[in-house]
């Protein structure tokens, strides 16, 4: 190695030593580095059935930002955490489950973003039960609901909710009971409405606090009675008694829903507004409805009465019997001589005292033939819209009695009458049995005729007109024969002092009040030719 190289190496070594000394001097002059922060878990201790207190200490913690306390359910491994402000040295964990092991540790977070974790420790919560509910009251009620409330309670254990239990007996029916229970969700709820309860029933109601581990606290109890509710419908039967009365009977409702004090009976006709109503006492189970309209279709409702009022009802229906319709008003019977007819007119029946409908009218007339005593009865049934009827084919000299009534489908009504409507005479018929009788046999100058009434008198006979003709000389006798009694078996007329050599003709006809006489009956007689007749 050359001397030059040795000198260079020496110079470099000397320089390095200088640098080392300078560095050592600088290091000796600089302050010492700070110690690292540490956190020590002091204790994990149960302080109540559902609380644990975690305590710790911190060294070199001037740069701390905050703490986080973490706890773990030993059984389920579920973990939870909470942030705690810097400077704190303890934290109480609440709403844990009693009689359970929890592991806890603390994490320190520094301002530079780093963190330090403590060791961990385990503690068991104490055995305990939930608190009693305070301020439990009944706030209101209806016939099916009871409203209850309570005070918002504090409890170190986590509250799952409140269990409400109720049991009731119906006051009005000892065989009926009901009950149930409901558990609310959450500790913040402080009221509940119990629904679907029986009416007028005594209920015992209890409430218990329930924790998340399903432990029940001591019960608080209240008593309440639901209101009465309108009763259900009675079972109803109806029976028509006559045209104006219906009897109603019933059984007590299956659900009284309270204390029955009586019954209400209502009835209406043909869907109209209520025609009437009546109230009975609680021990009466039948009622006769009177003063009804005949042929009325009635709806009948029977309801039980309790403290809630008039209850429900299922309508029953019945119809009153038919009754006679009233007699037609303004009946007139006019005899028309020209047409020889009787026109019968009347007013339509429009009565508010019945609901019976007119099915038809009945026109009945009796004809009393005044000239022979025959009596005939005829009837007809014009329809229900007719207010006029014509009687034709009348018999002359006859008295007519006419009756008109309105009829239902089953029953004829009261009658209006016209009496003694008399028809006029008509031309009488031909006389009957005109025959010759020989008279004054000694002189042989007379003879007689005999006859009987015409079959059809057609009126009141006034006379018989007899005419005797001599076929040679003409009319000999022309005479009206008046009889005081036209009910004889036969009538005679004798011709005397006649010329026995002549031939004679005799005509006889009847006369009544008709404008024209009846037809002639004629017979011939000759003294010479006719044989001798015995006198009748």
* Integer CA distances (angstroms), 115 to 63, 109, 158, 363, 428, in order: 11, 4, 31, 123, 152
Domain housing 190:
137-225
One domain for residues 157 and 204: yes
Average pLDDT over residues 222-233: 97
Residue 529 has what pLDDT? Answer: 65
Least confident of 70-84, 347-361, 408-422, 473-487: 473-487
Q: Residues for the chain: how many in total?
A: 536
Max mean pLDDT among 249-253, 351-355, 462-466 falls in 249-253
Residue 165 has what pLDDT? Answer: 97
One domain for residues 378 and 399: yes
Domain boundary among 99, 124, 149: 124
Residue 149 has what pLDDT? Answer: 96
Average pLDDT over residues 494-519: 90
One domain for residues 340 and 407: yes
Q: Is residue 19 part of a domain?
A: no
One domain for residues 97 and 153: no
Average pLDDT over residues 482-511: 84
Contact status, residue 225 vs residue 171, Cβ threshold 8 Å: yes
Query: Count of domains in the chain?
Result: 5
CA distance 348 to 142: 59
Q: Is residue 385 part of a domain?
A: yes
Residue 535 has what pLDDT? Answer: 35
One domain for residues 120 and 144: no
Residue 11 has what pLDDT? Answer: 52
Domain boundary among 225, 254, 284: 225
Residue 192, pLDDT > 60, answer: yes
One domain for residues 378 and 450: no
Residue 438 has what pLDDT? Answer: 63
Beta strands per DSSP E along 171-241: 177-183, 191-194, 201-211, 220-225, 235-240
Q: Is residue 18 part of a domain?
A: no
One domain for residues 508 and 436: yes
Q: Is residue 151 part of a domain?
A: yes
Average pLDDT over residues 331-360: 90
**529: burial class by Cβ within 10 Å (0-12, 13-18, 19+)?**
exposed
* Integer CA distances (angstroms), 334 to 87, 91, 371, in order: 130, 123, 22
CA distance 229 to 304: 11
Backbone dihedral angles phi then psi of residue 15, each to the nearest 5 degrees: -65, -40
Report CA 2 to chain centroid distance, whole Å: 138
Q: Is residue 33 part of a domain?
A: no
One domain for residues 217 and 257: no
Contact status, residue 428 vs residue 517, Cβ threshold 8 Å: yes
* Integer CA distances (angstroms), 434 to 371, 455, 458, 465, in order: 20, 13, 19, 13
Residue 188 has what pLDDT? Answer: 83
One domain for residues 445 and 520: yes
Q: Is residue 471 part of a domain?
A: yes
Dump the DSSP string for 426-480: ------EEEEEEEE-TTTT-EEEEEEE--S---S---EEEEEEEETTTEEEEEEE
Residue 26, pLDDT > 70, answer: no
One domain for residues 397 and 457: no
Q: Is residue 532 part of a domain?
A: no
One domain for residues 289 and 253: yes
One domain for residues 281 and 358: no
Contact status, residue 370 vs residue 398, Cβ threshold 8 Å: yes
**Secondary structure class of 316 (helix, strand, coil):** strand
Max mean pLDDT among 92-106, 149-163, 399-413 falls in 399-413
Summarised one tens digit per residue, pLDDT across range 279-321 is 999 999 999 999 999 999 999 999 999 999 999 999 999 999 9
Residue 238, pLDDT > 90, answer: yes
CATH number at residue 296: 2.60.40.10
Residue 22, pLDDT > 80, answer: no
Q: Is residue 28 part of a domain?
A: no
Residue whose pair of structure tokens reads 């006489």 in the numeric block: 517
Residue 23, pLDDT > 70, answer: no
Domain boundary among 319, 351, 384: 319
* Cβ within 8 Å of residue 199, ≥6 positions away: 143, 144, 170, 226, 227, 228, 229, 257, 258, 308
CA distance 449 to 433: 10
Contact status, residue 234 vs residue 183, Cβ threshold 8 Å: no
Please count the other Cβ atoms lying within 10 Å of the Cβ belonging to residue 81: 14
Give the Cα-Cα-Cα angle 363, 368, 371 (nearest 5 degrees).
Answer: 150
């Amino acid at each position: 190695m050359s001397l030059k190289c040795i000198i260079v190496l020496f110079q470099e070594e000397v320089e390095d030593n200088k640098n080392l000394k300078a560095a050592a001097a600088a290091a000796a002059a600089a302050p010492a580095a700070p110690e690292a922060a540490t956190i020590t878990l002091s204790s994990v201790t149960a302080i109540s059935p559902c609380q644990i207190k975690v305590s710790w200490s911190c060294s070199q913690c001037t740069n701390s930002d905050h703490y986080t306390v973490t706890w773990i359910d030993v059984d389920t491994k579920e973990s939870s955490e909470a942030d705690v402000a810097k400077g704190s040295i303890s934290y109480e964990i609440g709403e844990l489950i009693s009689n359970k092991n929890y592991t806890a540790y603390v994490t320190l977070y520094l301002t530079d973003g780093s963190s330090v974790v403590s060791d961990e420790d385990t503690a068991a919560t104490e055995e305990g039960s939930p608190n009693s509910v305070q301020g439990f009251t009944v706030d209101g009620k209806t016939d099916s609901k009871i409203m209850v409330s309570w005070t918002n309670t504090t409890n170190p254990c986590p509250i799952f909710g409140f269990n409400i239990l109720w049991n009731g007996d119906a006051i009005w029916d000892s065989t009926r009971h009901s009950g149930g229970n409901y558990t609310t969700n959450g500790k913040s709820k402080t009221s509940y409405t119990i629904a679907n309860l029986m009416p007028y029933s005594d209920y015992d109601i209890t409430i218990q606090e329930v924790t998340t581990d399903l432990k029940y606290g001591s019960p608080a109890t209240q008593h309440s009675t639901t209101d009465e509710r309108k009763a259900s419908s009675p079972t109803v039967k109806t029976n028509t008694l006559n045209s104006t009365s219906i009897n109603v009977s019933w059984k007590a409702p299956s659900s009284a829903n309270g204390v029955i004090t009586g019954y209400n009976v209502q009835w209406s006709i043909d869907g109209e507004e209520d025609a009437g109503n009546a109230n009975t006492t609680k021990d009466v189970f039948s009622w006769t409805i009177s003063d009804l309209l005949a042929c009325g279709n009635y709806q009948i409702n029977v309801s039980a009465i309790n403290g809630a009022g008039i209850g429900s009802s299922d309508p029953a229906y019945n119809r009153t019997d038919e009754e006679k319709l009233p007699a037609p008003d303004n009946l007139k019977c006019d005899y028309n001589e020209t047409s020889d007819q009787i026109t019968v007119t009347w007013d339509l029946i429009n009565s508010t005292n019945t609901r019976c409908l007119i099915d038809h009218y009945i026109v009945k007339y009796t004809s009393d033939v005044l000239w022979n005593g025959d009596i005939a009865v005829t009837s007809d049934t014009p329809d229900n819209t007719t207010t006029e009827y014509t009687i034709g084919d009348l018999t002359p000299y006859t008295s007519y009695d006419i009756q008109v009534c309105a009829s239902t489908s089953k029953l004829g009504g009261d009658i209006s009458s016209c009496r003694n409507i008399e028809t006029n005479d008509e031309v009488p018929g031909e006389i009957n049995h005109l025959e010759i009788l020989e008279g004054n046999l000694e002189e042989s100058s007379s003879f007689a005729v005999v006859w009987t009434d015409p079959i059809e008198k057609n009126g009141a006979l006034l006379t018989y007109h007899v005419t005797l003709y001599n076929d040679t000389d003409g009319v000999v006798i022309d005479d009206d024969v008046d009889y005081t009694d036209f009910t004889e078996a036969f009538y005679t007329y004798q011709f005397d002092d006649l010329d026995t050599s002549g031939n004679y003709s005799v005509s006889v006809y009847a006369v009544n009040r008709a404008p024209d006489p009846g037809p002639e009956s004629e017979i011939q007689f000759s003294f010479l030719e006719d044989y001798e007749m015995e006198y009748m």
